[in-house]
Structure 1
Amino acid sequence: MPAEFAPQREIHALYSNHHGWLYGWLRGKLGNACDAADLAHDTFVRLMQSRRTQFGDEPRALLTHIAKALVVDHWRRQDVERAYLDAIAHLPEPETPSPETRLLILEALYRIEAMLRGLPEQTREIFLLAQLDGLAYREIAERLGTSLITVKRHMRKAFLACLAVA
């Protein structure tokens, strides 16, 4: 096989040698064979997308590192989905969103949750005080003991993050 296929050979060898182990490890973490299979697959996809050509002396450590991040994302997504389903469980039947609409809403909620998680803590707090608690910027500044201009800067940063999600 030509040298340009060396990375594919490395990935193939890594997959052949460690996929079964990774799947078993994930199944133990998740307690679910289907999710474990999906995340094992996603781990190798993420590795291929990284365009790495060397996997070090401890390939299982690398795979575990990637898989742990995917597991955390999986659990976060489950938390968001559970909260959404709890919120709509009390709606009367005619007002319940269709499965297609639910999927679209969940995807938007996943993106919003990731955006909020990516904000600095103070920016996130200020943004949530304004958007969820309905506080005016001056009230937020007083509550947090900061200046009005600082609140405005944080809100600008949060709005820019919102625009990036859209």
Structure 2
Amino acid sequence: MAADGLIRQQYIQRLYVEHQGWLNGWLRRQLGCSQNAADLAQDTFVRLLGKDQDMAAIREPRAYLHTIAKGLLINHWRRRQVEQAYLDALALQPEAVASSPESQALIVETLLRIDSMLARLPAKVSAAFLMSQLHGMTYAAIAAELGVSERMIKKYMAQAMLHCLLLVEEP
């Protein structure tokens, strides 16, 4: 088993040497920032290290690395969107309400967890939750907007609230 681990490590090292420059360049073109590109390229190989699969079975290493990096890039953009939305909302608050950088980081992390949770829910469930919580819409108004019954909105909200509770229980 230790020999398999060594072979795997050597294969990943070879992938890194042969394709890191290409991957970094592709990410730099996508992001327009060499530092973020380097971080995401590194994260791609870290993700590769965490995968439990036969690396020798990868026939198209660049396509495989591209797929991993693209997922990380999407997560990066989503995080930036959430952070920017939070900062925009924060800018509208009086200075007395402003929180410390540490609090802001915790809030952004919480928002990202909520965003991720909502992304895993069916579209109508997350839409109903957001309409209720962010826009203050009534269940009747949400039902009309989504083209479902008010009873279905209650089910959607119960499902979303259950997932919120489960999110609170996560470490």
- Is the TM value for this pair above 0.5? yes
Which aligned pairs between 1:21-40 and structure 2 lie closer than 5 A? 21-40=22-41
Corresponding letter in the other structure for 1:2 = A
Q: CA deviation at 1:73?
A: 1.0
- For structure 1, the 5+ residue unaligned runs are none
TM superposition outliers: structure 1 runs of 4+ over 4 Å: none
Quote the residue 1:127 is aligned against.
129
Corresponding letter in the other structure for 2:14 = A
Check conservation: 1:123, 1:158, Cα contact below 8 A. yes
Which aligned pairs between 1:95-134 and structure 2 lie closer than 5 A? 95-134=97-136
SS of residue paired to 1:2: helix
Structure 2 CA distance for partners of 1:159 and 1:39, relative to 1, 3 Å: same
139-148 or 48-57: bigger deviation: 139-148
Quote the residue 1:48 is aligned against.
49
4-13 or 95-104: bigger deviation: 4-13
Superposed CA offset, 1:32-57 (max 9, x none): 11101110011111112121222521
Check conservation: 1:22, 1:40, Cα contact below 8 A. yes
Structure 2 CA distance for partners of 1:39 and 1:89, relative to 1, 3 Å: same
Structure 2 CA distance for partners of 1:2 and 1:141, relative to 1, 3 Å: closer
Structure 2 CA distance for partners of 1:143 and 1:68, relative to 1, 3 Å: closer
Report the count of equivalent residues: 166
Quote the residue 1:79 is aligned against.
81
Q: CA deviation at 1:81?
A: 1.1
Corresponding letter in the other structure for 1:20 = G
Identity across the alignment (%): 47
TM-score, normalised relative to structure 1: 0.89
TM-score, normalised relative to structure 2: 0.86
Q: Check if 1:151 corresponds to 2:150.
A: no
Root mean square deviation, CA, Å? 1.9
Corresponding letter in the other structure for 2:46 = V
Quote the residue 1:63 is aligned against.
65
Corresponding letter in the other structure for 2:124 = Q
78-87 or 137-146: bigger deviation: 137-146
Q: CA deviation at 1:138?
A: 4.2
- For structure 2, the 5+ residue unaligned runs are none
